[in-house]
Amino acid sequence: MNKESKIYVAGHRGLVGSAIVINLKSKGYTNIVTRTRTELDLKNSEAVKAFFEAEKPDYVILAAAKVGGIVANNTYRADFIYENLMIQNNVVHQSYLQGVKKLLFLGSTCIYPKNCPQPMKEDYLLTDVLEYTNEPYAIAKIAGIKMCESYNLQYGTNFISVMPTNLYGPNDNFDLEKSHVLPALVRKIHLGRALEKNDWKTIQEDLNKLPIENVNGESPQEIIIEKLADYGIVKTQNGAVHVEIWGSGKPMREFLWSEDMADACVYLMENRNFEDTYAQNCKEIRNTHINIGTGEDISISDLATMIKKVIGFEGDFKFNTEKPDGTMKKLTDVSKLNALGWKHTVELEEGIKRQYQWYTSFN
């Protein structure tokens, strides 16, 4: 890519997309094209067609997607498969029609089987059944991988697929109903600490920034306490505070700082092509996607303890074993990524400190 190349970043306001835009700008790229959801509905084929015909981007980074945690994935199953399929079908197909030089498609490591051997290699794709709670989303992302591969093989395009592990960082989603585990724990433990300190100013500021359902910082204290309890932030009659965590706390998860993820994406766009993603002597070209992660994992229980230490919460955790754990272990094999020349730099505790600082300072 040249510094003047026109680069369309789809999903530039999200966790990954915003980090990619910042990374590109820091490296001197000056012609970055973005559109908000209200400006361009990526589910609308005609709108996407008109956009590509007018803008004719040289490069495309497809970070736009409908994403969420276990609750959202399991509740809005039709929305997750429909919206993600529509977004990627429109953007990938128009990228082919308009002669885009290179496209980067972002998925997720939830594409791998529920009981996948660990660590998860790219070659384990489609070898067993998926985790039920996020099956629709995973199928959409698998379709995206195969779409990129198929266009490359039939039309000679240069579309690369990357599958990041669990991401966290600036611009993360802290909605307690729809967020992923790490930002949800950060917010719950932050509110738990404020509650145990009777720090109502902090609680009110938090709820004014991000109301929980219809409860904000102006709501009566008794209503706020009830709503926090609904989401597992509980103050008992003796004044002690505990935070409820879904599941047993035993599942192992891997986490990657979003700015590291962005750096990996830009690195691959600058330095690698589709032909670098598979062995040149293979008869069948498949599993060309690239895992992006750290290759290191931690239990949810230990993650919560790490966040507790960073925030200074003194209360306890209660694990609700009636709630689902999801897959017990999800660790990526990042040897392919490392062989292509990239490795993460931000370790988990440092990343949590950065995310908490961002969360408590954003308006």
The set of catalytic residues is 137
Q: Would you say 161 and 144 are in contact if contact means Cβ atoms under 8 Å apart?
A: yes
Kindly state the helix (H) or strand (E) to which residue 47 belongs, with its residue range. Answer: helix 45-55
Residue partners of 327: CB distance under 8 A and separation at least 6: 114, 115, 116, 131, 251
Q: Would you say 71 and 24 are in contact if contact means Cβ atoms under 8 Å apart?
A: no
Measured CA distances, 313 to 62, 179, 233, 309 (Å): 38, 21, 12, 7
Sheet architecture: strand order including 233-235: 233-235, 241-246, 316-320
d(CA 41, CA 300): 36
The DSSP call for residue 232 is: T
Q: How many CB atoms lie within 10 A of CB 345?
A: 11
Q: Would you say 256 and 129 are in contact if contact means Cβ atoms under 8 Å apart?
A: no
Q: Would you say 60 and 10 are in contact if contact means Cβ atoms under 8 Å apart?
A: yes
Q: Would you say 70 and 180 are in contact if contact means Cβ atoms under 8 Å apart?
A: no
Residue partners of 281: CB distance under 8 A and separation at least 6: none
d(CA 236, CA 229): 10
Q: Would you say 262 and 19 are in contact if contact means Cβ atoms under 8 Å apart?
A: yes
Bridge partners, 291 (sequence order): 163
Measured CA distances, 312 to 188, 202, 217, 224, 309 (Å): 13, 14, 22, 22, 5
Tokens of 197: 């300190």
